[in-house]
Amino acid sequence: MDNPNFTQPAPSGLPDNILSAPTPQDPHEPRIFHRIFFGDEGLRAGWGILLFVLLCFGSNYTISRLHLLPAQPQTNLAQSSPELAPVPSVISEGVMLLLVSLATLILSRIERRPVTVYGLGGSGRLRLFLHGLFWGLVLLSVLVLVLWKAHLLIFDREFLAPFAIFRYAAVWAFGFLIVALFEETFLRGYLQFTLTRGLSGLYRLFTTPKRAGAFGYWTAGFVLCSVFAFGHGNNPGESPFGLFAVGLFGLTFIFSLWRTGSLWWAIGAHTSWNWAQSFLYGVGDSGNMIRYHLLASHPIGQPLLSGGTTGPEGSIFVLPTLALLVAATFFAVPRTQRWYPANPASAATKID
């Protein structure tokens, strides 16, 4: 019987360990490779942001190259601001929302966090959404009223026939809900959470975890609001002050997320504000005009006062309106849980 403890000697001239098992790989090597991509809180923030952006823009680029989306109908070249048609607009924004949702879902699985942790969770979501709808509609109406009373905005006539009012009111309400969902989840969902997580880790080198979380949150908010404003720069009727106002709008929504722990207030206010501008009053919406709006109007006077082709957001009167929007968030909406806890690793368990 062979002796299991017997080792056959190596042939002459060869080292003794040539027939022995190969030397195990250094156990620290895979650990080092793992630490490049993962930290104590899971996937590192920089890699997460890079993957999220690649998923969103890569898939959007592929779709655009394949010409899978309907193009906007050609408009009269004499128009200063071409009007957006409802069906192509809703489909395009819906596809973008789908891509962002899929990217968020994929990253949530990689990071082993519930998808609701990226601003869509929390309690009282319907109540927050309805609050946002109300205040967005009311305060945009107040802004339009001020411009009208100051003779900076003139209403010409009703644009739609009675039988078409309800149809296009519903179509554009759905369309602007899709726009709000897309823009809020794209810039103030996964990206806000993850950039906050990464920046908070840097701030914790210099201050307490609680302060680091706050500093990281607001730094991320300023960065992404700048991206939000920059993204509106190609709108045909946009102005420099209008872009500044867009950034302030983003900060208003960042504040509502910080206070309520949810994106739903911002989604509601974003939806009704855009719907009231574009459909109800027929004014510019960050330089864009839509087809089939209820009222027809035009601005007069200095663009910095009237808003010009940008719409009410291009008027300096938008500043006190935004202050009222912040006040409505602070006083009319009860504070729930702060969205971003001091310990980022515990966020998934603290937010349902």
Instruction: From 101, 126, 102, 237, select the one nearest 178 (Cα to Cα).
Output: 101
Q: 79 and 166 in contact (C-beta within 8 Å)?
A: no
> Which tokens is 236 given?
């045909």
Does residue 160 form part of some domain? yes
> Which tokens is 127 given?
């109540």
Does residue 49 form part of some domain? yes
pTM comes to 0.82
Does residue 117 form part of some domain? yes
Does residue 30 form part of some domain? no
Instruction: From 309, 301, 306, select the one nearest 318 (Cα to Cα).
Output: 306
Domain limits for position 276? 38-71+81-350
Q: How far apart are CA 96 and CA 109, in angstroms?
A: 20
Would you give per-residue pLDDT tens digits along the chain (352 residues)? 455 454 445 444 444 443 344 445 555 555 776 677 677 777 788 888 999 999 888 877 677 666 555 655 554 433 445 677 778 888 888 989 999 999 999 999 988 888 888 888 777 888 999 999 999 999 999 999 999 999 998 888 776 777 788 888 999 999 999 999 999 999 999 999 999 998 988 888 888 888 888 899 999 999 999 999 888 888 888 889 989 999 999 999 999 998 888 899 999 999 999 999 999 998 888 888 888 888 888 889 888 998 888 889 989 999 999 999 999 888 877 776 555 544 444 444 333 3
Count of domains in the chain?
A: 1
Does residue 76 form part of some domain? no
Q: 6 and 19 in contact (C-beta within 8 Å)?
A: no
3-class state of residue 152 by DSSP = coil
Does residue 2 form part of some domain? no
Does residue 4 form part of some domain? no
For the chain, the residue count is 352
Does residue 26 form part of some domain? no
Q: 173 and 275 in contact (C-beta within 8 Å)?
A: yes
Q: 37 and 44 in contact (C-beta within 8 Å)?
A: yes
Q: How far apart are CA 91 and CA 58, in angstroms?
A: 18
Instruction: From 242, 275, 250, 262, select the one nearest 352 (Cα to Cα).
Output: 262
Residue 14, number of CB atoms within 10 A of its CB:
10
